[in-house]
Chains A and B, each alone.
Chain A
């Protein structure tokens, strides 16, 4: 509702992470470790594995791969490595969205989002550990080349036993030194700009004035250009090169859409949880409404990109392209099929129908349910991007969920730590007043 009378002046409020909360986060990690151990034991005993299916599919698949097929690690180890990579790509991508969202708000001179700005800043805290973990897991890949088929030695050397002409044709881009340079460069740039915006924001808290705001706009504009290019290339590197024979020109957008809508869902969920914990006094229905509109709109955007990729491949039906969907729609004895359609339901149909009305976008409970659904849905969207290419038919869920919980707990610890370091309200932001009086 519009409130026309001026409220009392905005004061700083600080998040206090109680020991109980921190214990809860630790408990998530412990639970994750327990689930992980359980999963490893189950995998070693062969419970819930799809060995026969995997072999059948591999035999059928072998014709396409030729001599390039290699034997990876034991299933449990392979699953851990793939799952670490999967979770890290998901969490790092979502984390980067914090800065992207903030940068867009700066460049657009948007006022409404000022009261949730600190959540965006804190969301990007995961980028540094994200880079470290990514490099470590890329190193783990070399145990048995479980993640990236193109890293197998000799795959690009003519005459070698493992030679693969298609992969060799990509050697100019997909070689290990250049890959590592790109990984460090992209994440390094994201970290640099995140830190720059955060520093400017904290300086503004101390000194006030519009100088920091204008500087932030310049930094944001630079970041957005760099992010637009690097996020797309990161998607080829980190996700698409898992299916190294296959390529799609929509893929950069597709991965970005997935990260972006998950990032907005994460911001919404954090806003609601903080509000329910008694913080963020200035966040009103109108702010939630705007976040809800973002979630609604970009769920549709994700579907649009997903469909654009799917339909062209489905219609053209070129074997080297359609193999990707062949694996996911009925490949490996159809074990990915339910996930394929489940993704569409949870990431498109559910947010679309639930958030359609204005009232739903203004209610915390609805937004809470949908943002959790979107986060789970896009985690499984990434699952579906990685698993058929790496695990073939040998995938599972126990180890994967265990590692996801460990990541979640660690992410939350870092996130709340960053969040508690500054006032939840950027007191000297020039648009703060507009944001406090925001109505939709």
Chain B
């Protein structure tokens, strides 16, 4: 599916932050903002809802914990019981380090994979970039447009809010 975007290019992150507020106030829906580095407060300015990633993280962690406990209880308690230090076969305090590590391992990897998948940051043949300068020193505000959009008015709004240039770009697979 091909989408068309109007791109406002900004030179400064402060200008961009104020522009985001003003453009949204003018009733324009911002598709996404691309910046070379994270900008504090931009999530709130864009009105992005809080991520649900922590919920996923919880379940990844739970999976890791369950796996770790099963692994240790089954191997040390049932499959090949050994007496270590005169402790019971299933000595839970001794299982804490491994359980903790596997919880963290599952949680981290699960979160990274989930995040990359939903943000489409996984490796691809062709990486869609709206404006390559957003990886260097420019701040790009992308607004999805179609035939009925009043481009002159949109350009004017962006220019008034400090955009140094306004471009258009078509993008497939975005």
Please report A residues at the B interface, Cβ cutoff 8 Å: 1-2, 4, 307, 310-311, 314-317, 358, 439
Contact = CB atoms under 8 A, between A and B. Distances in A.
B44 A1 contact: yes
Q: Is the interface of B mostly helix, strand, loop or mixed?
A: helix
A389 to B, nearest CB: 23
A310 B94 CA distance: 10
B27 interface: no
B135 to A, nearest CB: 24
Nearest to B14: A4
A300 to B, nearest CB: 10
16 contacts: A2-B40, A2-B41, A2-B44, A2-B45, A4-B18, A4-B21, A311-B93, A311-B94, A311-B97, A315-B85, A315-B93, A316-B85, A317-B86, A358-B50, A439-B41, A439-B44
B124 interface: no
Interface in B64-98: 85-87, 93-94, 96-97
Contacts of B97: 311
B124 to A, nearest CB: 32
A311 B41 contact: no
A239 to B, nearest CB: 24
Contacts of B45: 2, 4
B17 interface: yes
B21 A315 contact: no
Nearest to A3: B41
A73 B45 CA distance: 67
A317 B96 contact: no
B96 A307 contact: yes
A358 B18 CA distance: 26
Interface string B104-146: 0000000000000000000000000000000000000000000
Nearest to A1: B44
Contact of A4 (B41, B86, B87, B96): B41
Nearest to B87: A315
B93 A314 contact: yes
> Which 8 pairs show the lowest CB-CB distances between chains A and B?
A2-B41, A2-B44, A439-B41, A439-B40, A4-B17, A315-B85, A311-B93, A1-B44
- Band of interface residues on B: 10 to 19
A1 B94 CA distance: 44
Q: Is the interface of A mostly helix, strand, loop or mixed?
A: helix
Nearest to A359: B50
Interface of B: 17-18, 21, 40-45, 50, 85-87, 93-94, 96-97
Contacts of A310: 93
Contacts of B42: 2
A359 to B, nearest CB: 10
Contacts of B21: 4
Contacts of B93: 310-311, 314-315
Nearest to A357: B54
Nearest to A311: B93
A314 B50 CA distance: 43
A315 B44 contact: no
Contacts of A316: 85
Q: Which of B41, B43, B94 has the most CB of A within 10 A?
A: B41
Contacts of B87: 315
Nearest to A358: B50
A316 B93 CA distance: 13
A310 B85 CA distance: 15
Contacts of A439: 40-41, 44
Given A2-B40, A2-B41, A4-B18, 5 more contacts: A1-B44, A2-B45, A311-B93, A439-B41, A439-B44
Contact of B85 (A1, A307, A317, A358): A317
Nearest to B91: A315
Q: Which of B21, B40, B85, B87 has the most CB of A within 10 A?
A: B40
A317 B94 CA distance: 13
Contacts of B85: 315-317
A403 B100 CA distance: 40
A356 to B, nearest CB: 10
A374 B23 CA distance: 46
Contacts of B94: 311, 315
B96 A311 contact: yes
A344 to B, nearest CB: 12
A316 B86 CA distance: 10
A297 B41 CA distance: 23
Most chain B CB within a 10 A radius of its CB, from A2, A316, A439: A2
A1 B44 CA distance: 7
A160 to B, nearest CB: 38
Nearest to A307: B96
Contacts of A2: 40-45
A435 B140 CA distance: 27
B141 to A, nearest CB: 15
A96 B96 CA distance: 33
B41 to A, nearest CB: 3
A167 to B, nearest CB: 29
Nearest to B17: A4
A325 to B, nearest CB: 11
A311 B45 CA distance: 48
Contacts of A307: 96
Contacts of A311: 93-94, 96-97
B101 to A, nearest CB: 12
